[in-house]
């Protein structure tokens, strides 16, 4: 039986882009956790609220596309945001299959409370704003390349 080559550099964990992304994502989520707990949000709820703060009155399909997730998987998250009084969900009168999302006053107020979060993340990264913006752009480019057919 042949033994694996322990010197194969391509298969070392620290040489894997996927592991660098995964482990960085875990660390980023740890940094966000206490900031979001103060707002009463989970990370996925925060992402949904960011989308709604950009454009109130969107549909579930639109928020799903923006968050790069399946609409069905958003339903429990959106129900929790509604139960917390941050959004309302209403069926379109023109097409009952379409659910519209609107921020409540409480949801709009939460935006003001969240305004300090990007600065906290920048400080935690110990990177310059320019370097962080470059990194973000490179990751977006990578994501787009991976999504391309």
- For the stretch 14-40, pLDDT in tens is 999 999 999 999 999 999 999 999 999
Q: What is the value of pTM for the model shown?
A: 0.89
**Position 86 in a domain:** yes
- Residue 98 CA: distances (Å) to CA of 59, 65, 71: 7, 14, 11
Is pLDDT of 44 > 70?
yes
Number of domains in the chain: 1
Which alpha helices (H) appear in the chain, and where do they start and end?
A: 17-37, 43-54, 60-67, 71-83, 105-114, 117-125, 129-147
CATH of the domain at 53: 1.10.10.10
**Position 147 in a domain:** no
Is pLDDT of 6 > 70?
no
Beta bridge partners of 22: none
């Amino acid at each position: 039986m042949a033994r694996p080559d322990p010197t194969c550099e391509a298969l070392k964990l620290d040489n894997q882009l996927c592991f660098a992304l995964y482990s960085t994502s875990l660390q980023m989520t740890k940094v966000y956790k206490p900031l979001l707990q103060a707002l009463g949000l989970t990370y996925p709820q925060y992402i949904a609220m960011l989308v709604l703060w950009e454009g109130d009155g969107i549909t579930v399909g639109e928020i799903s596309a923006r968050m790069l997730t399946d609409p069905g998987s958003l339903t429990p998250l959106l129900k929790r945001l509604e139960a917390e009084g941050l959004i309302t969900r209403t069926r379109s009168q023109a097409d009952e299959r379409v659910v519209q999302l609107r921020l409540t006053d409480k949801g709009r107020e939460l935006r003001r409370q969240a305004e300090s979060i990007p600065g906290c993340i920048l400080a935690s990264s110990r990177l310059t704003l320019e370097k962080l913006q470059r990194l973000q752009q490179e990751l977006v480019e990578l994501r787009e390349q991976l999504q391309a057919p």
